[in-house]
Chain A
Amino acid sequence: MRLELTSRSFAGRPVLGALTLEVRRGQRVAILGPSGIGKSTLLRIVAGLDRDFQGRRAVPERLAAVFQEPTLLPWRRALANVTIPTGADRAAALALMDQVGLAGKDRHFPRQLSLGQQRRLSLARAFAARPDLLLMDEPFASLDADTAGRMLDLTAALLDASGAGLILVTHDPAEAARLGAQPLTLSGTPARLA
């Protein structure tokens, strides 16, 4: 993945300045910075959700994302939430659900799961896509310390096993360190990477 950004403005006000971000398969990068600096905007540009920027973007074919919220399909059962968006087969999806500790929950609807379980389902979904690059936007925010810790370990293990690259957006340097991600800080107006 390589992004050469010239700028991204909102209503004429530049939010992101010139920056280059390059992540290869297996490489892990964390984007740090205070709230509102443009971390999520940068991630949305990488994800292809924000196309209103100046610059060049080249991404691998298979992307996956873990959003701030679990962002599951409430009307599909847990297993279908893994297989439908990713095209993963049933066996692979069940194996991943097992790995994230959701064995036996495949027939549950998302609202029948706790928030922690929903987040783990969202993690299983991301890895079911067999991504070359995983994008994570504050996926551990609003989780208690214990749950966040277990999610981090789980994420690290799944990243090791899959060899996917990672771009993690977070405001917590400890999260980046725990995932072994190279910390990059977004700062200034318009924001640049350092």
Chain B
Amino acid sequence: MPPPGPRAVTLAPPSAPPSAPRGAQPHAGARRGRVPGLVPGLVSLGALLALWAVAAALTGNPRRLPGPWAVGHELFAIAASGELWFHAGMTLFRVALAFVAAMILGGALGLAMGRSPRLDRWLDPTLVILLNIPALVIIVLAYIWIGLNETAAILAVALNKIPVVAVILREGTRALRPDLDDMARVFAMSGPARLRHVVLPQLAPHLAAAARTGVALIWKIVLVVEFLGRSNGVGFKIHLLFSSFDVAGVLAWSLAFVAVMLAIDAGLLRPWEARANRWRQDAP
């Protein structure tokens, strides 16, 4: 039987099968994940906005703490001028490249270390060291050694993320089912087929966890990289706004990018997870 594994409900709200009318089945997970799930989220978001508005009114200093409306106005202005799309695009480009590099390299490293206890013993100390070097140190060193260029920026971000991905995937690889491995060997499945049909589906929850934490971590590091040594991107804009103490600008840019990252989570990661977890559902 399949291993218990993380339940689908914890990873993604399972969608009801297309044939069945929604709500027709007593599927507790589906119901909990849907409409009632949206209400608390919206209410808490509204409460946060209200708190912000009250704090801004009480402070009475729009330069120090502008209200939501001032930031909204700023956001509209940078979106209308096209500035937002260019800089957010540059940041997103760096996030995407660093993310892909970190997932592939970190994933391969984790898979190899999970498979081979010998390799694990050799590489584990390096991994622990890399995990504990502050992101800022890696960024500064990359800029000094490689130069103030795109390669250094993306490499620095990826290097920060690779050990995290490797550790998550190593744990996943250690938990791979030996019986399926045996089956693949007896039937002489090719290496790529084994990876695609036997190994990666088992690692899907770990890949999803690595991707989720990865995206969140990477965009924050990309901002630091841009702050320190790039001449475009959201981090660069925040650098400029910081020097003029423009809090409304800083908030507008960061909120805009948070929205972009949320959209990526909802539009890319969640649908992928739902697809990868389809087989866990009971309904035919």
Contacts and interface: CB of A to CB of B under 8 A. Distances in A.
B partners with A: yes
Contact of B279 (A64, A65, A109): A109
B187 A86 contact: yes
Which residue, B1, B180, B186, B201, has most C-beta atoms of chain A within 10 A? Answer: B186
Nearest to B283: A112
B180 A108 contact: no
Interface-centre pick from A64, A80, A109, A135 (highest chain B CB count, 10 A): A109
Interface residues of B, number: 24
B197 A76 contact: yes
A71 B177 CA distance: 10
Interface string B267-284: 000000000101110111
B182 A111 contact: no
Contacts of A44: 182
Contacts, number: 67
A181 B188 CA distance: 26
B186 A64 contact: yes
A111 B4 CA distance: 12
Interface string B180-202: 10111111110001000110010
A67 B189 CA distance: 16
Interface in B156-171: none
Given A67-B179, A108-B284, A109-B279, A85 B184 contact: yes
B187 A74 contact: no
A159 B180 CA distance: 24
Contacts of A129: 187
B257 to A, nearest CB: 34
Given A108-B284, A111-B2, A71 B179 contact: yes
A55 interface: no
Contact of A112 (B179, B198, B284): B284
A85 B279 contact: no
A85 to B, nearest CB: 4
Contacts of A156: none
B201 A85 contact: no
A65 B279 CA distance: 24
A21 interface: no
Contacts of A69: 1, 179
A75 B205 CA distance: 12
Interface of A: 44, 47-49, 63-65, 67, 69, 71, 73-76, 80, 84-86, 108-112, 125, 129, 135
Given A69-B179, A75-B279, A112-B282, 15 more contacts: A48-B185, A48-B186, A67-B182, A69-B1, A71-B179, A71-B182, A73-B201, A74-B2, A74-B280, A76-B279, A85-B187, A85-B189, A110-B2, A111-B1, A135-B186
